Chains A and B, each alone.
Chain A
Amino acid sequence: MEGKDPLNVIVTGVGGQGNVLISQLMGRALVRAGYHVTIGETYGASQRGGAVMSHLRVSRQAQYGPLIPQGQANVILGLEPVETLRVLGQYGNPGVTVITNSRPVYPLAVAIGTAHYPSVEEIVKALEELSSKAWLINATDIALELGASILTNIIMLGALVGADVLPLAAGEFELELRESLPADRLDLNLKAFRLGLAEAKAR
């Protein structure tokens, strides 16, 4: 993503997955490195199971508005596969990089049995045909192995950093985690971050 200014990143998922936290961690690390950053977020009712999006706009030159125009995302980080597809359809373009968690959070219509959730094959096909690079990460499984599904977002942040799409090195993000997270949860989060990083590096 060298040379993209502004760099447009969308973080998407379902309320409660920690979307806001990782977009803030990214934003803070980038501001520390001297970038102008704007983050537009949807909150409020979105905590209650709704679709959530954070738009990050990163620039050396100027501050940009909080909403990315349609078709203008450079990177999409998804915490939930169908939400990733939703965002890709609206903000994607042939050059977009997509990194998404593989584990579904079923919409209520699926949970109650009135709708079907798309198959992994359908999801992968759409992701691949609509992006220049698409990675599916089993982040929730990794998080569960660490003992807490809530770590999914930090693993995905690690994967994003490992994909070298942001103008910052892993060390700078680790510094951010150290500064922003409470001491008693730092080690586990660092572990999660590095596992995500390793997932990306292995590709």
Chain B
Amino acid sequence: MTSITAYEPGASQLLMGNEAIARGALEAGVGFASGYPGTPSSEIIGSLAEVAREMDIYVEWSVNEKVALEAAAAASFAGVRAIVAMKQNGLNVASDFLMTLNLTGTNAGLVLVLCDDPSALSSTNEEDSRPIAKWADLPLLEPATFQEAKEMTKWAFELSEEIKNVCLIRSVTRVSHARGDVRLGEPMPPSREARFAPTTLGQFTPMFVPLKHNLLHQKLSKAREIFESSPFNWYTGPERPELLIVTCGSGWYYSLEAVRTLGLESSVGILKLGTTWPLPEKLVQQHLARTDKVLVVEEVDPFLEGNLKELVGDTFSALGPLTFYGKRSGHLPSFGELDPDRVMGAVSSVLGRERVAVDPDYAKKAQALTGSLVQSRMIGFCAGCPHRATLWSVKNALKLDGRGGFVTGDIGCYTMGLGPTGFFQLKTAQAMGSGTGLASGFGKLGKLGFSQPVLAVCGDSTFFHAAIPALINGVYNQSNFTLIILDNSATAMTGFQPHPGTGASALGEPAPRVDLEALCGSLGIRVEVADPFDLEDTTHKLLDLMRDDSGVRVLISRRKCALVRAREEKAAYKVRVDSEKCRGESCGCARLCTRVFQCPGLVWDSDSQTARIDEIICSGCGVCADICPASAIIREVA
């Protein structure tokens, strides 16, 4: 598809919210961009990397979010505008640096984009990252439209320079991962006079913390004044609305749709806020004074709702009685995504009107006709996924070992190993690298009666991101566990971004490849490498590593991601089921291949009562041929 610089300024281009953010940065003259991949944020850095050569700017995939923010802060300190992007969990990693960077301040514009994932469509939590703005005393912008995502990002650099501090932008899935037409502006060349030259004592340090803390509050007050007249805040509706909706971000379109669909334009007003911290108090008070009912529409936590109430608490005598509706009143859920139907329901309920969403006769008929036909579609490992093969060997090795061993999980595609396609092998899943940290702890419980073997898994990108300190902790503290690095040569879950182990940079240029074996070997521990498609060898190595319970061991299970293989190479095998040899239910294998191995390319044919290969789905890895006890699955070199 076309890049974010393919069209002339003035043209309208269909852009993903993330691309609009990236384009806004280009139009602001960004010179430095960094981040760590994470849904729904990845395309911000991805689309900048795509045009980095052409625009002659620097773009990197950093090893983790904290380093990404540190690297970008260096650019800001040296006078170059910089953008950093991450998902909500990434903020947790970066926040250690952020919570002091706010005190030290910045030089050239520094914009930190946080992309939240309400409903956790591709996350292990649905954390609302906005409270960081309040916590760190930093200004927060929330785009509601694609055009605004671009304009806001562009302006965020100016605001950052005005107050000499980080400016936060918070997006959500339905902005970041939606697309809309955006009118393009002119890209700006970055400053090419990078130089680090502090002008005052301790300028880029938190030195004299209370003084800097006070200065931080002054900066925030300045942002509040600027926000009072921001074009990102607007009101639409009658002079004195019966109900005032206050909304931000994704809530804007849902609110607009609800008011239109319900035909309430003359009685319900919408105050759309783009600057949600600090609140533009005067503007907000003006609008609150003209109504007595307020509905707050936002994702995910009642952040805006709480801040509005706080403001009302400060100025109660001037405003008179107000009733708030939203998440605390139960009119909107305080978990999961919003959508136009939920907002319509809330508006109708507050105003005491009945709302019929869908014609009840049609709904009834649809339920009768489709209800029983539509099955749930669980996500799982792709056909040919190396993780399925590794976890098959893990399952068998743990069984053969017989001491009640288990797997601590981590973050990536392989988190799906919690479910049926990973044979439920993963028993924990929290944060990046935490599988190894947990293993390090479990491995020290021997003194306290613990005797189970511990296996930790993590992907190659996750290993670099956060598992290395945990591994070293295990080595140093003489813990006892085996780390399995699932090396599929990509950050697969988020779109195959390169990382330090792939030998490629964010721009796809050759980069030094950090050698996993050498790195782990340098810790003085045993390191083995296996091909997960060789089930027997992988199982033996795992068993041997588990029995060698003398400390920390590493198994690198190495095979490229099936989706990457499908792009780069032809299938290794043509796989078929010999229907003469497959004895189906009478075999005694209890349908090991379809029922247990659960590869979507292997299908149980209920008509013929045998397994068969779905040739459209099958990736030709041939692993299933090794699990069939009757040798009925035939693989032939393709």
Smallest beta-carbon distance B313→chain A, Å? 32
Q: Which of A28, A71, A90, A106 contacts B14 (CB 8 A)?
A: A28
Residues of A with C-beta under 8 A to B376: 107, 109
Interface residues in B342-398 (C-beta closer than 8 Å to A): 344, 357-359, 362-363, 365-367, 369-371, 373-382
Interface residues in B406-442 (C-beta closer than 8 Å to A): 413, 416, 420-421
Smallest beta-carbon distance B491→chain A, Å? 13
Q: Which of A28, A31, A68, A88 contacts B366 (CB 8 A)?
A: A88
Contact between chains at A93 and B362 (CB < 8 Å): yes
Residues of B with C-beta under 8 A to A63: 145-147, 180-181
Residues of B with C-beta under 8 A to A24: 1, 14, 179
Contact between chains at A66 and B600 (CB < 8 Å): no
Contact between chains at B367 and A89 (CB < 8 Å): yes
Contact between chains at A27 and B179 (CB < 8 Å): yes
Residues of B with C-beta under 8 A to A46: 121, 379
Contact between chains at A49 and B369 (CB < 8 Å): no
Contact between chains at A86 and B374 (CB < 8 Å): yes
Q: Which of A27, A38, A88, A110 contacts B375 (CB 8 A)?
A: A110
Bound form: Cα–Cα A39–B173 in Å: 12
* A129/B381 contact (C-beta < 8 A), A63-B180, A94-B359, A113-B591 known: no
Whether B174 sits at the interface, judged by CB under 8 Å, is: yes
Closest residue on chain A to residue B617 by CB atoms: A105
Give how many A-B residue pairs fall within 8 Å (CB-CB): 200
Residues of B with C-beta under 8 A to A70: 341, 357-358
* A94/B362 contact (C-beta < 8 A), A38-B180, A180-B2 known: yes
Bound form: Cα–Cα A82–B180 in Å: 28
With most chain A CB atoms within 10 A of its CB, the pick from B145, B341, B367 is B341
Whether B242 sits at the interface, judged by CB under 8 Å, is: no
Bound form: Cα–Cα A92–B2 in Å: 33
Whether B520 sits at the interface, judged by CB under 8 Å, is: no
Bound form: Cα–Cα A81–B247 in Å: 38
Residues of A with C-beta under 8 A to B616: 105, 140, 144, 149
Contact between chains at A48 and B40 (CB < 8 Å): no
Whether B340 sits at the interface, judged by CB under 8 Å, is: yes
Annotate A99-133 by CB proximity to B: 1 below 8 A, 0 otherwise: 00000011111111111101000110110011000
Bound form: Cα–Cα A111–B591 in Å: 11
Bound form: Cα–Cα A140–B374 in Å: 21
Bound form: Cα–Cα A83–B594 in Å: 22
Interface residues in A74-89 (C-beta closer than 8 Å to B): 82-83, 85-86, 88-89
* A71/B369 contact (C-beta < 8 A), A65-B340, A179-B2 known: no
Residues of A with C-beta under 8 A to B13: 31
Smallest beta-carbon distance B216→chain A, Å? 36
Residues of B with C-beta under 8 A to A88: 366, 370
Residues of A with C-beta under 8 A to B14: 24, 27-28, 31, 37, 39
Contact between chains at B340 and A67 (CB < 8 Å): yes
Interface residues in A54-76 (C-beta closer than 8 Å to B): 63-71
* A44/B40 contact (C-beta < 8 A), A108-B421, A179-B2 known: yes
Contact between chains at B359 and A69 (CB < 8 Å): no
Q: Which of A16, A85, A94, A149 contacts B373 (CB 8 A)?
A: A85
Contact between chains at B359 and A71 (CB < 8 Å): yes
* A37/B179 contact (C-beta < 8 A), A108-B378, A126-B370 known: yes
Residues of A with C-beta under 8 A to B122: 43-45
Smallest beta-carbon distance B585→chain A, Å? 10
Smallest beta-carbon distance A45→chain B, Å? 5
Residues of B with C-beta under 8 A to A106: 600, 603, 614
Bound form: Cα–Cα A108–B459 in Å: 25
Whether B177 sits at the interface, judged by CB under 8 Å, is: yes
Residues of A with C-beta under 8 A to B494: 44
Whether A51 sits at the interface, judged by CB under 8 Å, is: yes
Whether B329 sits at the interface, judged by CB under 8 Å, is: no
Closest residue on chain A to residue B602 by CB atoms: A111
Smallest beta-carbon distance B617→chain A, Å? 7
Contact between chains at A48 and B381 (CB < 8 Å): yes
Q: Which of B174, B254, B378, B382 contacts A107 (CB 8 A)?
A: B378
Whether A50 sits at the interface, judged by CB under 8 Å, is: yes
Contact between chains at A36 and B181 (CB < 8 Å): yes
Q: Which of B178, B254, B603 contacts A38 (CB 8 A)?
A: B178
* A50/B379 contact (C-beta < 8 A), A39-B178, A89-B367, A93-B362 known: yes
Smallest beta-carbon distance B396→chain A, Å? 19
Bound form: Cα–Cα A30–B478 in Å: 62
Bound form: Cα–Cα A112–B419 in Å: 14
Bound form: Cα–Cα A107–B598 in Å: 11
Contact between chains at B369 and A126 (CB < 8 Å): yes
Whether B58 sits at the interface, judged by CB under 8 Å, is: no
Report, nearest first, the 5 A-B pairs whose CB atoms are least far apart.
Answer: A65-B253, A44-B122, A113-B604, A71-B358, A66-B178
List, sorted by A's number, 13 A–B pairs whose CB atoms are closer than 8 Å.
A39-B179, A43-B40, A49-B600, A70-B358, A82-B375, A92-B366, A108-B378, A111-B594, A111-B614, A113-B591, A118-B373, A122-B373, A130-B369
Given A48-B413, A149-B616, 20 additional A-B pairs, CB 8 A: A27-B179, A31-B12, A31-B14, A39-B179, A39-B180, A42-B177, A44-B39, A45-B121, A47-B382, A65-B252, A65-B256, A66-B253, A71-B362, A82-B374, A106-B603, A111-B614, A112-B598, A113-B604, A123-B373, A130-B362
